[in-house]
Structures are given as structure tokens and as C-alpha cells.
């Protein structure tokens, strides 16, 4: 079994997709280990997206993630990391995410793509430590 860090980003919360995203996680068979609705500090946002620090969209991404409440979750199950990436769909909600995925069904723009999911076991360990240091 494996754990992954999921964020329902501020656009997903503002648009009312918290229940929809959690329902899809549960229907897939993944378990919820931790869940918190919260505002994100700039420090946590920068650390979370540190791999993108040199990208031109980094500043607007940090502003977006800190701009309103989000829901952070830890999910668990067999191949949870890949399983949630499958549910989310590709980063670009129009060009890459298939219909039937969260992004493919509910998003139009790359930055406003509703959810985040860890992309590897190393990322998951780092991100769970960042968002849920007590786990
Ligand atoms: P996350 O699960 O959020 O990490 O998405 P991802 O792994 O599918 O994509 P990636 O890690 O490459 O990018 C992280 C986030 O940065 C994306 O989810 C988008 O919100 C944003 N992003 C990525 N590429 C672009 C871009 O070209 N322009 C803008 N404005 N935002 C981008
Ligand atoms: Mg990523």
C-alpha cells in the first residue's frame, strides 16, 4: 500500500468540487488518512512547488495557491500515487486530461486545474511531511 498527498486547490474549493473530488477518490477504492481545509502560507506554497521555482509561472502559481482556502488530503491504497494521477488527468485540462477525469471534466486552464496529486513516492514523502508533519 502507498500514500499520496492530494490538494483540492482554491479553484476547486471555490467552485464547489470538494465533495465531487472526495467522492471520486472513495469510489476508486482509496482511503482517506487525513484531511484539512485551510489557508496556505507563502512559505508552504513555495516549498510545495520548489521544483518550479525557475519557471515563469511560479509567482502566479504561488499567488493562486495562497489566494483562498484549499483542502489538503492524504490518501492511501495500492498504487495510490498513480491511481490518483489517473483520476486527475493530465496537467493541461483541455489538451491532456481525458473526459471522465477530474481535470478533463471540470477545468479549462492549466493553472486552474482543480487538484494536485504527488507524482512519485519521493514527492509523496516530501509533500506529506510538508502538509501533515504530524502524520
Ligand atoms: P500538480 O499536481 O499541481 O503538481 O500538477 P502536475 O504535476 O500535473 O503539473 P506540474 O507539476 O508540471 O505543474 C504544477 C502546477 O503548475 C500545475 O498543476 C499547474 O497548476 C501549474 N502549471 C504547470 N504548467 C503551467 C503553465 O505552463 N502555466 C501556468 N500558468 N501554470 C502551470
Ligand atoms: Mg506536479
For residue 114, tell me if it sits in a domain.
yes
For residue 57, tell me if it sits in a domain.
no
For residue 121, tell me if it sits in a domain.
yes
Ligand 1 mean position, distance from CA 89 (Å): 12
Give the tens place of pLDDT for each residue, 72-124: 999 999 999 999 999 999 999 999 999 999 999 999 999 999 999 999 999 99
DSSP letters, 40-109, are: --HHHHHHHTGGGTTSTTHHHHHHHHHSS-EEEEEEEETTHHHHHHHHH--SSTTTTSPTTSHHHHH--S
Of the bound ligands, which one is closest to the alpha carbon of residue 86? Answer: 1
pLDDT of amino acid 129: 98
Q: Identify the residue whose cell numbers are 486527475.
A: 88
Ligand 1 surroundings by CB, under 6 angstroms: 57, 60-61, 91, 110-111, 113, 116-117, 119
For residue 64, tell me if it sits in a domain.
no
pLDDT of amino acid 83: 98
48 is catalytic: no
For residue 80, tell me if it sits in a domain.
yes
Of the bound ligands, which one is closest to the alpha carbon of residue 110? Answer: 1
Number of domains in the chain: 1
* CATH of residue 102: 3.30.70.141
pLDDT of amino acid 73: 98
pLDDT of amino acid 87: 98
Range of the domain at 82: 2-35+72-131
Mean pLDDT of 65-78: 98
pLDDT of amino acid 23: 98
Give the tens place of pLDDT for each residue, 51-62: 999 999 999 999
Mean of all residue pLDDT scores within the chain? 98
Amino acid at each position: 500500500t502507498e500514500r499520496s498527498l492530494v490538494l483540492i486547490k482554491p479553484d476547486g474549493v471555490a467552485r464547489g468540487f470538494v465533495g465531487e473530488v472526495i467522492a471520486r477518490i472513495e469510489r476508486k477504492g482509496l482511503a482517506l488518512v487525513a484531511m484539512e481545509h485551510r489557508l496556505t502560507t507563502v512559505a508552504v506554497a513555495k516549498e510545495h512547488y520548489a521544483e518550479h521555482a525557475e519557471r515563469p509561472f511560479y509567482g502566479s502559481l504561488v499567488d493562486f495557491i495562497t489566494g483562498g482556502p484549499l483542502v489538503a488530503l492524504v490518501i492511501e491504497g495500492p498504487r495510490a500515487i498513480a491511481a490518483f494521477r489517473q483520476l486527475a488527468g493530465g496537467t493541461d485540462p483541455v489538451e491532456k486530461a481525458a473526459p471522465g477525469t477530474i481535470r478533463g471534466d471540470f477545468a479549462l486552464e492549466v493553472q486552474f486545474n482543480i487538484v494536485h496529486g504527488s507524482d512519485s513516492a519521493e514527492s509523496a514523502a516530501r509533500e506529506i511531511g510538508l502538509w501533515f508533519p504530524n502524520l
